Chain A
């Protein structure tokens, strides 16, 4: 009896071992780490969905280097220390080949040491303030010179010389505006005022009163989240509209436009590397595939398009390196270029993207129509030469 049992268990364990080694050969694990709960969930769930869509597409076509991608999904819960803990878990316990994730600068800054310590690789899909560079992070969202500065240049070219800077009070608006101020002085334009409102703030009468006193030609808006709703409601009530005092926003995309109310946002501008309305074939395919899965009305934003493309960039780098080893992938990814929903993009040596910049005007259904675009693609500059002289990426 006991002999029979030991034979059975041996056979069973052999079968299991064979099965698990077979599956280990035919799959590769990647992490998707976004806030699926908490205050950032509104923005990050759809970004995680976009990354998942790319992974599903790649798996349907046979995977990467013959291996199917298995996703380990983790919730950063809008809590920055949690992002570090989950990143550590993904790298050391799940041993993922790479991680796609993060949104706020705070979440990225808390994950950075974890990736550097463990030699991991993170694809970060959101525009940010620059002033940071790590060999373990591929920053695909816009650097300041790929969103803030082109917006400023466009405003000046339209004859808007007096600029008011309005932002939420945290690291991204403060740093972006520091850079903008240097360039406003450099380009002989006028800074007519600068105001910060606490994240989530809803009262803008004083700010609007100051704007009225300052009489700017244009507002550059780095408010985040629902503060935008209050601001645009109160701006309109004070008698302003896009034709009298235009606002250029960096954190309002198609999804936010729906929540603010398209009536309130009509005629206002946003600057991004991507709009849902871009007419290129890769984008049409992406929009159709996403809406097939998540509903015909689903809005698609710049960070989502970046997250979707990040997966394809990783696949191309893995195939070029013929390895899943993070640092080999990091080396191989430089110079890779592709026709993505954002248009033609190339990975620069500093791990950021060379990509085009678009300024769009908000119209019906919360969609943006492109009114201006960069001449060709723009090289990423993580450190602004005026604001952070002498600092460069290794």
Chain B
């Protein structure tokens, strides 16, 4: 265990944390604020990944490496639109029935996976990161791949954007008001219906953006979403349901625990260690790191 290895693992922890955070941020909105257990959240990531592939196919030949900048709005709007449709067609009818949302969204996730299989084939599609993301920053003996730094930056930008939106914008004030007391907010003139739809599709859109980041380092195939959904829920639950800040802290914590466990044992053992620690942690703090105060939670 030399210094280079340990600093490399520290960077790994940060990089794992950024991916956990990207996967979980959208979920922090739909699960955290709206109590919708969205099992199809991973499929929004998958949609983001496929839209990244399409952006590379369409814009790649004309724009060169700049196709990546087309991918972000495309993935955000595409996944967000899908989220809006889903909210309008299914979720809207199931508010206040978390177990029913779990079943319904699980069904939707299977439908979306099969749809991707029909459209793109079950083999998965290749996405190659632009050349300018190909290099690495070298600090002494430690190399930090640009693509990893890019994903970390992406997670920070999305986190900052979400924090600003929830805490500094009029929209965020309405969201927080509805979260704390839905009836009172409605009585004061907040259109809770359209707000629900906006929040849900925003969560979906953020997952789409996360999908762009993932496509640069992971496969794009019909089941890629399923690979991230468990960890995304872990982050939201450990962080404290409803807290965006909690999700961020939890992602960093889980990222470093994973990197540490992987460094000293093996990758397959590390996942087991992580789950044992999470179970133990939830015995100690069942409401997560940063519990939010809200009517809904106190009633539950």
Q: Is A339 an interface residue (CB 8 A)?
A: no
Q: Is A386 an interface residue (CB 8 A)?
A: no
Q: Report the separation of the CA atoms of residues A195 and B266 in the bound assembly, to the nearest whole angstrom.
A: 7
Q: Which of A196, A205, A238 has the most chain B CB atoms inside 10 A of its CB?
A: A205
Q: Is B148 an interface residue (CB 8 A)?
A: yes
Q: Report the separation of the CA atoms of residues A260 and B143 in the bound assembly, to the nearest whole angstrom.
A: 24
Contact A41 B129 (CB under 8 A): no
| Known contacts A42-B123, A260-B126: A233-B218 contact under CB 8 Å | yes
Nearest CB of chain A from residue B182's CB, rounded to whole Å: 38
CB within 8 Å of A: which of B107-139?
Answer: 122-129, 133-136
Contact B124 A209 (CB under 8 A): no
| Known contacts A203-B16, A239-B136, A264-B128: A212-B8 contact under CB 8 Å | yes
Contact A206 B129 (CB under 8 A): no
Contact B123 A206 (CB under 8 A): no
Contact B267 A237 (CB under 8 A): no
Q: Is A8 an interface residue (CB 8 A)?
A: no
Contact B148 A237 (CB under 8 A): yes
Q: Is B251 an interface residue (CB 8 A)?
A: no
Q: Report the separation of the CA atoms of residues A169 and B265 in the bound assembly, to the nearest whole angstrom.
A: 14
Task: Name the one of B126, B147, B219 contacting A237, with C-beta atoms under 8 angstroms.
Answer: B147
Residues of A within 8 A of B219 (CB): 202, 226, 229-230, 259
Residues of B within 8 A of A209 (CB): 5, 8-9, 12, 263
CB nearest to B227 among chain A residues: A202
CB within 8 Å of B: which of A229-272?
Answer: 229-230, 233-234, 236-239, 255, 258-264
Q: Report the separation of the CA atoms of residues A255 and B122 in the bound assembly, to the nearest whole angstrom.
A: 12
Q: Report the separation of the CA atoms of residues A250 and B274 in the bound assembly, to the nearest whole angstrom.
A: 31
Residues of B within 8 A of A205 (CB): 11-12, 15-16, 148, 259
Q: Report the separation of the CA atoms of residues A195 and B146 in the bound assembly, to the nearest whole angstrom.
A: 25
Nearest CB of chain A from residue B96's CB, rounded to whole Å: 35
Residues of A within 8 A of B266 (CB): 195-196
CB within 8 Å of A: which of B131-160?
Answer: 133-136, 143, 145-148
Given contacts A196-B267, A206-B263, 17 further A-B contacts (CB under 8 A): A39-B223, A42-B123, A169-B268, A196-B266, A197-B267, A201-B268, A202-B217, A205-B16, A206-B12, A207-B267, A209-B263, A212-B143, A229-B221, A233-B216, A239-B136, A259-B125, A262-B126
Provide 25 A-B residue pairs closer than 8 Å at the C-beta atoms, listed in order of the A residue: A197-B267, A198-B268, A201-B267, A203-B258, A203-B267, A205-B16, A205-B259, A206-B267, A209-B263, A210-B263, A212-B8, A226-B224, A229-B124, A229-B126, A229-B219, A230-B217, A234-B217, A237-B129, A237-B133, A237-B145, A238-B145, A239-B136, A259-B126, A261-B128, A264-B128
Interface residues of A (CB under 8 A from B): 39, 41-42, 169, 195-198, 200-203, 205-207, 209-210, 212-213, 226, 229-230, 233-234, 236-239, 255, 258-264
Interface residues of B (CB under 8 A from A): 2, 4-5, 8-9, 11-12, 15-16, 19, 122-129, 133-136, 143, 145-148, 216-219, 221, 223-224, 227, 258-259, 262-263, 266-268, 270-271
Top 10 closest A-B pairs, CB basis?
A261-B126, A206-B262, A229-B219, A237-B145, A205-B12, A226-B219, A209-B8, A202-B218, A259-B123, A169-B268
